[in-house]
Chains A and B, each alone.
Chain A
Amino acid sequence: DAGVIQSPRHEVTEMGQEVTLRCKPISGHNSLFWYRQTMMRGLELLIYFNNNVPIDDSGMPEDRFSAKMPNASFSTLKIQPSEPRDSAVYFCASSFAQKNQPQHFGDGTRLSIL
C-alpha cells in the first residue's frame, strides 16, 4: 500500500538555480498539501489543492514559489530562483477532502541552497 511519494529526498543546489520538488499522492485522495518545515518557523502550509484546483495559496512566501497539480496523481513545487533562506524540509501530504479525514505525509525533501 504505497504512501505519499516525494522526490528527491535530498537536494543541494546553488542559489539562483531552479528547484523542482515532486509529489505523488495516495491513489484516490483528492486533497494535496505542500508544507515547509524549519527550526525557526516550524511547520507552515504553503498551498493546498482540492480536486487538482488550488484552494489556498496564502502561505506561498513570494512569487519565486509556484505549485501545480496537472492531474490527480502528481504535483510539483517549484522555486525559481532559489535563495539560501529557502533551505528547509518540504513535505507533501494528501487526504480525502473532508474535514474528518487525516492527512498522510510523505517523507519530505530536504533542500539545501548554498
Chain B
Amino acid sequence: AQSVTQPDIHITVSEGASLELRCNYSYGATPYLFWYVQSPGQGLQLLLKYFSGDTLVQGIKGFEAEFKRSQSSFNLRKPSVHWSDAAEYFCAVVFGGATNKLIFGTGTLLAVQP
C-alpha cells in the first residue's frame, strides 16, 4: 500500500544545532515529494518539493532535503536551527495514477531549546 511515514513524533534540538527530520514512503516508483511547515495557529507553508533532477533540493528558510531512491526517503535538513524554526513539519507525497491528492505523514513536532 502507498504510505508516508515520519518516524519521529517529537524532536528537541538546541538552537544552533543541526537538524534532520526523517520521511519514508512506500511506493514502487518516484513520487512527487513535499515538505510543509505549520506554525501554531497557522496553515501549512511549503518548504520545498522534489519530483525530478538533482536529488538535493533547496527550500525556504535555509532548509534542504535529499531524495534517496534506494532508501525511499526524503529527509529534511537544516545546518543550524533557529528558535523560530519551532513548529510542526509534515512530509507529503503525491503518488501515481490520475490523482493529484497529497498524502501526508503524521508530522514531526520540533522544539528548539535556547
User: B97's closest neighbor in chain A, by CB?
Assistant: A99
B43 close to A98 (CB less than 8 A): no
A100 to B36, CA, bound (A): 14
- Please tell me the size bucket of the interface on B: 20 to 34
The contact of A45 among B49, B102, B106, B107, by CB within 8 Å, is B102
A105 close to B100 (CB less than 8 A): no
A97 to B99, CA, bound (A): 9
Residues of chain A from 67 to 114 with CB closer than 8 A to chain B in the complex: 91, 93, 95, 97-108
Which residues of the other chain, B, contact A104 by a CB distance below 8 angstroms? 46
Given A55-B99, A108-B43: A43 touches B49 (CB 8 Å cut-off): no
Which residues of the other chain, B, contact A31 by a CB distance below 8 angstroms? 100
Interface residues, chain A, CB within 8 Å of chain B? 4, 31, 33, 42-43, 45, 48, 50, 55-56, 91, 93, 95, 97-108
* 19 residue pairs from A and B, CB less than 8 Å apart: A33-B102, A42-B104, A42-B107, A43-B104, A43-B107, A45-B102, A91-B43, A91-B44, A93-B44, A99-B32, A99-B94, A100-B32, A101-B100, A104-B46, A105-B36, A105-B43, A105-B44, A107-B43, A108-B43
